[in-house]
Amino acid sequence: MKKIIFLVLLLNISLNYSQDDKVIKSIFDAGFTKSKAYSWLDYLSNEIGGRLSGSYEAELAVKWSKNELDKLNFDKVWLQPVMVPRWVRGPKEFALIETEPGITFNVPVAALGGSVATPSVGIKSNVIEVQSIEQLKELGKEKIDGKIVFFNRPMDPTFITTFTAYGTAVDQRALGALEASKYGAIGVIVRSMTLRTDDFPHTGGLTYGALPVSKRIPAAAISTKGADKLSSLLKIKPDLKFLLRQQCKQMPDVQSYNVIAEKKGTTYPDEVILIGGHLDSWDIGDGSHDDGAGVVHSMDLINLFNNIDYKPKRTIRVVLFMNEENGLRGSLKYKEIADKEGINHIFAIESDAGGFRPLGFSFTCNDSNFLRILEWKKLFAPYFINVFIKGGSGADISNLRKDYNVLSGLRPNSQRYFDYHHTEIDTFDAINKRELEMGSSAVASLVYLFDKYGLND
């Protein structure tokens, strides 16, 4: 009898596994044939376009995504109000290198998000090239005062994950203006955050810390070709001048929204699984990879579940966060309300690393949960999406971490990501339909497993 029970148990386990195999195969089949991700992203990118917080386009994106989610069979779709910053770029920025009066070289620049404007005629001054924030201290005020500081340390190309390479250089963009202003710099130019040599400046956020408005200096990204040009001309003409003109402006905060859709779980409605991306993007380009892809991956979840007729046992929340790029206000507001309402997020996943072929997931969780998750790796092996590593989840969801829950980030191939990130070429034509669809399927498959099995005790 015992033997029979043992056999039945064994059979049951293996049946379960083969069922998971099959369900995940059916999710991927649906992903390649019934996904709405690509056509949704076509609309978001090409009909709405770049959608910085507080912009007309961000408002359109809120309305459009709510409307699309309303067509799926959620129990509830709502807008969660949140006040967001509104920074506007204004007329296209302009910059040139002047080696001597009348001899000039135009270079492509883009104001960094949050930067102050230059005077309307621009700033024009000598340039001091540095490789790091530390170097400012070595040079001191006498060598920096009155000049434009040019941060030119490239991302380190030897890291496999380009997000890590980004981490080796992005302090210059985030903190360069704040730090250089302490030594009397009148402006900052930062080498674009990319591993390519090309003509596209990469915008992105900066912080002035507690610096009063009157002390803030303008900062712009320069394309990598522009940076190489400036650096080589500086070697010949150390006294060359740089002209930067930008008319960006911080406007009063405006009302915006997170877009949330919820489907109650059939068995454990109080256990919530969140999948999200961020609805806002930078204003240049149309934000197809950052983070249009994450938006449509998230929206696609219930579409794929509907297609395979899967009814979640736990409550599913799709959250399209507002203002990831320059404030994280949507993330903070979501957390504030969720805490008030005592929402129990057992699992949250964000897709905010582009629409490229997924390679796996990163996880933030305790060892007990991670060991169990590692058992699922084999279910993703047939799709070569089985890089399962410990690591960060996503900027919008990382504040939902509890000791007992699991956060995750989709990890697509990152090799091309910084070719497009925060530039005018982060556009729909840089998206491959199948790779985008594989992201939807990968996320839906992982959500399926957490929905079915819940957390480890």
Reduced to 3 states, what is the DSSP secondary structure of residue 170? coil
CA atoms within 13 A on the CB side of 83: 4
Q: Which stretch binds a copy of itself (CB under 8 A): 70-78, 106-114, 380-388, 443-451?
A: 380-388
Place of tokens 């900052």: 188
Region from 51-59, 157-165, 171-179, 342-350 binding a copy of itself, contact rule CB under 8 A = 157-165
Least separation in angstroms between residue 392's CB and a copy of itself is: 17
Shortest Å, Cβ 169 to a copy of itself: 15
Which residues in the 70-89 window bind a copy of itself by CB under 8 A? none
Nearer to a copy of itself, 80 or 414 (CB): 414
Tell me the C-alpha to C-alpha distance, in Å, between residue 232 and each of 25, 29, 109, 226, 249. Answer: 54, 53, 17, 10, 32
Report the residue from 1, 160, 213, 236 that binds a copy of itself according to the rule CB under 8 A. 160
CB of 408 to a copy of itself, least distance (A): 17
Helices 2-34, 367-380: axis angle to 10 degrees equals 70
> From the CB of 45, what's the least distance to a copy of itself, in Å?
18
The residue range among 137-145, 217-225, 297-305, 376-384 that interacts with a copy of itself, by the rule CB under 8 A, is 376-384
Residues 428 to 447 in contact with a copy of itself, rule: CB under 8 A: 432-435, 438
Give, in order, the Cα–Cα distances in Å from 105 to each of 99, 132, 188, 226, 241.
8, 25, 18, 9, 11
Q: Is there a contact between 96 and 107 (Cβ–Cβ < 8 Å)? A: yes
Instruction: Look up tokens 């270079």; give the residue.
Output: 107
Question: Taking Cα atoms as reference points, which of 412, 436, 452, 216 lies closest to residue 314?
Answer: 452
Pick the piece of the chain touching a copy of itself (CB under 8 A) from 154-162, 250-258, 266-274, 445-453: 154-162
Instruction: Count residues binding a copy of itself (CB under 8 A).
Output: 26
Is residue 416 near a copy of itself by the rule CB under 8 A? yes
**Which residue of 1, 2, 5, 33 would you call a contact of a copy of itself, by CB under 8 A?**
33
Of 28-36, 133-141, 226-234, 250-258: span binding a copy of itself (CB under 8 A): 28-36
**Contact criterion met (CB below 8 Å) for 409 and 352:** yes
Q: Which two tokens stand for residue 356?
A: 């490229």
Of 102, 158, 210, 367, which one interacts with a copy of itself (CB under 8 A)? 158
State which of residues 49, 360, 394, 439 lies at the interface with a copy of itself (CB under 8 A): 360
Cβ nearer to a copy of itself, comparing 264 with 433: 433
| Shortest Cβ 423–a copy of itself spacing (Å) | 15
Helix, strand, coil percent values for the chain (each to nearest 5): 40, 25, 35
Q: Is 387 in the site for a copy of itself (CB under 8 A)?
A: yes
Please report whether residue 195 would count as binding a copy of itself according to CB under 8 A. Answer: yes
Distance in angstroms (rounded) separating the CA atoms of residues 457 and 454: 9
Interface residue with a copy of itself, options 333, 357, 421, 422 (CB under 8 A):
357
Q: At which residue do the structure tokens 């040009």 appear?
A: 229
Query: Does 6 participate in binding a copy of itself (rule CB under 8 A)?
Result: no
**Cα–Cα nearest to 96, from 243, 229, 222, 223:** 243
**Counting contacts by CB under 8 A, is residue 419 touching a copy of itself?**
yes
Pairing of strands 241-245, 94-100: antiparallel
When the beta carbons of 215 and 434 are compared against a copy of itself, the nearer one is 434
The 3-state secondary structure of 78-129 reads EEEEEEEEEEECCCCCEEEEEEECCEEEECCEEECECCCCCCCCCEEEEEEE
Does 46 help bind a copy of itself (rule: CB under 8 A)? no
Residue type for 363, please?
F
Given 368, 382, 390, 402, the residue binding a copy of itself (CB under 8 A)? 382
> Which residues make up the interface to a copy of itself (CB under 8 A)?
28-29, 32-33, 157-158, 160, 162, 195-196, 357, 359-360, 382-384, 387, 413, 415-416, 419, 432-435, 438
